[in-house]
Chain A
Amino acid sequence: MAAKATLQQFILLPTRGLRAQETTASASVNAFFTSINPGAKTPKGRSVKVSGAPKLQMRVLDSIGKNGAKLVELSAESLSDLKAAQPGMRIVPIVYYYPAVVRRPTVRPIPKAFAAAAPATKITIKIVSRTDGKPVAGADVVAFTNFSQRLGAQGKTNKSGRVSLSLGAAVGKLDRLYIYPKVGFYSLLRTNITISSQMELGLRPVDLTFSNFSDALRHFYGNTANEIGQGVKVAVIDTGIATNHSDLSVDGGMNTVLGEDPDDYDDNGHGHGTHVAGIISAHGLPPTGVRGVAPAVKLRSYRVFGEGEEGASNFSIAKAIDQAITDKCDLINMSLGGGPDDAAIRSAIADARAQGCLVIVANGNDYREPVSFPASDSLALAVSAMGRLETFPSDSTAMGDIDVPRGKDPKNFVAAFSNIGPETDLIGPGVDIVSTVPGGYAPMSGTSMACPAVTGIAARLLSTRPNILAMSRDRDRSDEMAKLLLKTAVEQGFGPDFEGQGRLP
């Protein structure tokens, strides 16, 4: 017998303020708010039907006025269906606040005394290409002596492919060894390795013909015709895009990092933005290049990570969203997040929706933690990551990303690193996806890769709907775009917390 769904309470709000009116909500949301009211106030509220979601069971418990915020009760599993039927609302879980009483002190166990320090074990690892033995420089090497405790050492290979690591005392084995090359090779995962002072490991080069296996992106979406995605403008808010890559065409953009040249929206050296861009619209072809899922979109780069910086400020991000709106982008891809909820970014996302533009955001990669902000904003489309067996080498680090649940096709899985939760809207391929990087090509994994897969297929779908693209740039337009995507998605059998409405076909 199926378990009874747990009911939760949520507050439905227009995009701004508490009341749905012309300036704060689309016509569809206005009508919806007016139509669902609790009637005579009882604790159990009133059961209501939602057009476009026939299976949805929802009760309206309370309302602020006739067209104001609604307190509703439904199962978290149904949230995805509600959002697909009415994508233009903010949906926030109910939150309770308590008196700030002082906690009583608690006793912590005293740690055991440490043994006398002993000399550390030092090793040197050399990384080479399996095909020609040449050294691989710039590869990140992460060696765990105890993986469950995350103890170990890490470094980067030098010009001769070597890295020296200092491990704990009397270490004889490595629990796990991860090698992450920057360009041209697959990553490597080795387990239970006996240590020697000098070790050499070979990496498999990336094969752009995919003759041994397709990566998951090509498995699901194949090689795309060059004209796919025409008429759609896509913003990539990221580390910048390598404008000199032969497989990419960048139509323009802006660097919104304070103190940097606004016209320098090139990749800041990290490679992340270039990889994301290639998934969406690379226009190369095997054996010398790669093809994205919507090669004909107009691609714009908004760089929010500074030169050599690992972080982007909320100001840069909000400014980039604003600029993408001004530049009439239809879709905004944000493969970033993980910080606290922020009013400025929320406001910018609301502005994007109000001006006919959809923001698509990666869920985050914290191993089944809740969906990160800003993906968790109900006006954004949040994307989780899936993988597929036999789409990467058997010794790639991607082997560590295989997890449950499996899909209707048991070769499909939700990536172990993917954040999940009721805010998830769609799922995309995000394990060992081959794409463009500065200087060549590389596989990468993450909801960062799943997000542009969804953005690119969204662009594909929108390009076949000129009637939606021709709508005035307002909330009705972005609502229609969201409805198209959420209704077109196909369930993969993972469940709504893992996949939302599913994968775009």
Chain B
Amino acid sequence: MARFILRYQGKGPKPQQSIEQIRSLDHISIIDASSPRMILVDAPEDELKALIDSMPDWIMSQERTYHLPNPRPRIR
């Protein structure tokens, strides 16, 4: 399973009802719910996508990494 960011795009913090809906998904593991607008989860992608697609004002994005821009020439 991969890690996904679920982000609420409506007004204010993420609604409790939505949080309960997400928690109820089979095989989901909540990694971080401390942010007022986001939850980081570990879950099967297809099932998670189906759930999020049914929830207005929520988007889903796979967790990925960004780096510091480095202008130095690098050895290949």
Contact = CB atoms under 8 A, between A and B. Distances in A.
Interface residues of B, number: 29
Nearest to A320: B35
B10 to A, nearest CB: 9
Given A258-B31, A342-B61, A150 B67 contact: no
Nearest to A363: B69
B73 A343 contact: no
Contacts of B38: 315, 318-319, 322, 344
Interface of A: 16, 23, 140, 142, 144, 147, 149-154, 176, 178, 180, 239, 258, 270, 272, 305, 310-315, 317-319, 322-323, 326, 335-340, 342-344, 347-348, 350-351, 362, 364-366, 372, 397, 400-401, 415, 417, 445-448
Contact of A310 (B31, B68, B76): B68
Query: In this complex, which of B37, B40, B71 has the most chain A Cβ atoms within 10 angstroms of its Cβ?
Result: B71
B68 A335 contact: yes
B75 to A, nearest CB: 5
B45 interface: no
Please report whether the interface of chain A is mostly helix, strand, loop or mixed according to DSSP.
mixed
Nearest to A342: B61
Contacts of A446: 69-71
Contacts of A400: 73
B65 A312 contact: yes
B71 A445 contact: yes
A498 to B, nearest CB: 16
Contact of B71 (A144, A315, A365): A365
B15 interface: no
B7 interface: yes
A401 B74 CA distance: 15
Nearest to A319: B35
A315 B69 contact: no
B67 A315 contact: no
A178 B73 contact: yes
Contacts of A258: 31-32, 40
A279 B67 CA distance: 20
Contacts of A23: 11
B75 A344 contact: no
20 contacts: A142-B72, A270-B68, A312-B66, A313-B63, A313-B65, A317-B66, A322-B35, A322-B37, A326-B36, A336-B67, A336-B68, A338-B67, A338-B69, A339-B64, A348-B7, A366-B69, A397-B72, A400-B73, A401-B71, A447-B71
